[in-house]
Structure 1
């Protein structure tokens, strides 16, 4: 289906990014897997390479423009093209609005927004030159749609990514590049399983009766970057088991 396409996934050493990497590699995509932690990137890529398909690690800071450009260049040098980019890297820094610090705000903005923006820019330049089209996918969140306590900064960045996806339709469609966003709700990952009440709380308040798995999110990502989604662009898909339709607070 993907005909040996090439993908970059940032923040993919574990969790949703890793699940997407597995799905893409299994489908025949050659994957450049990024994580800020070198050990996570190396181990995740080795696991995918062994069990699912072609994957190489590229560790580093996905919010750094110089690194982003080097990563895109690596994909093209290693595999000959760049066809799919998934800006999955992001950070969450909880904090009350009245006490939120400039340092925390700048950190969230740099990773979640600037990193995604400049990754899309660097990849789109290559895709334009290739003249073969491409897929760009941003990772938003239900917090970009519904208010969550202590997540004003994070939710703001996620809503902004969805607007970026819409705006880039105007600038990139002529090059056959689609741009969309996924907005996961509560999801069971390595991070959330450390909260003993997370699964039970979100199972109680989610209409489908459970939080998402990383595969739930990965299946949707695979579709949006596939050839079958060639006429879908500028859209944001919420994957939250219906939570945002009713929005009960977990607190």
Structure 2
């Protein structure tokens, strides 16, 4: 006997989804019955990604724009409501990595990383939670953190602190959003093969050696964990961070030490 797709009838927003982990999250959500607003700061990339996932354009709507811009965040929530009539899931996946030595790290880079990695997620969660509260049927919010929020990594002090802060945000929102039936969690990827990391010819080899499970993650590995946390099966899980790293944080070897 056939069963309905797990996300049938649900509506999601996923930021930073033009490629990589975010793209795979959207692809799996649509495949499992959801309608999704797919955001990327690169509008053309968002359009291409949405078309690749859903050529008919019925279940995946591109939203090109800066996920850290509050008016744009409000517009994404409005689009979900107007296009699909509801909002059930929000995945804050947008983020940037600006490497730099602590002693010389530029002020502009510091505030841009905070704006994108923290501001975009904080205000997306805020706007979505307001809508979900009015909707009265609960919902799920998920942040994409990182193993760098758990273990120090060279030249990533600012990035790492923002990812740790996202996990604290997930905990903090338990107090404020649980009364509305909204659960909030984070997924923390380790080394992952994406279009960006695969530009480094040594990436897969290096992280296969450093990862106890013998390989870096794929985008699908991270998306599977993310979709569980926003699924009906995880509605009683909230304030948690799930590390998906093949065991790396248990041993934490640095690529700079080998």
TM-score > 0.5, shorter chain as reference: yes
Following TM superposition, where does structure 1 have runs of at least 4 consecutive aligned residues deviating by more than 2 angstroms? 50-53
Equivalenced residues, count: 251
- One of 155, 162, 181 as aligned partner of 1:150: 155
Asked if 1:227 is matched to 2:242, the reply is no
Per-residue displacement from partner, 1:158-198 (whole Å, max 9, x unpaired)?
A: 00000000000000000000000000000000000000111
TM-superposed deviation, 1:3: 3.0
- One of 23, 44, 65 as aligned partner of 2:70: 65
Structure 1 length normalisation: TM-score? 0.99
Unaligned runs of 5+ in 2: 1-5
Unaligned runs of 5+ in 1: none
- Which residue of 1 is the match for residue 61 of structure 2? 56
8 Å CA contact 1:26–1:52 kept in 2: the answer is no
Per-residue displacement from partner, 1:26-77 (whole Å, max 9, x unpaired)?
A: 1100010000101110000001113997101011000001110011111101
Per-residue displacement from partner, 1:114-161 (whole Å, max 9, x unpaired)?
A: 000000000000000000000000000000000000000000000000
Asked if 1:183 is matched to 2:196, the reply is no
Equivalences for 1:159-238 in 2 at 5 Å?
Answer: 159-238=164-243
- One of 1, 4, 8 as aligned partner of 2:13: 8
Equivalences for 1:13-162 in 2 at 5 Å?
Answer: 13-50=18-55, 54-162=59-167
SS at match of 2:55: helix
Moved more, 29-38 or 42-51: 42-51
Per-residue displacement from partner, 1:96-124 (whole Å, max 9, x unpaired)?
A: 00000110000000000000000000000
8 Å CA contact 1:22–1:52 kept in 2: the answer is no
**Cα RMSD (Å) of the superposition?**
1.1
The separation in 2 between residues aligned to 1:195 and 1:51, in whole angstroms, is 35
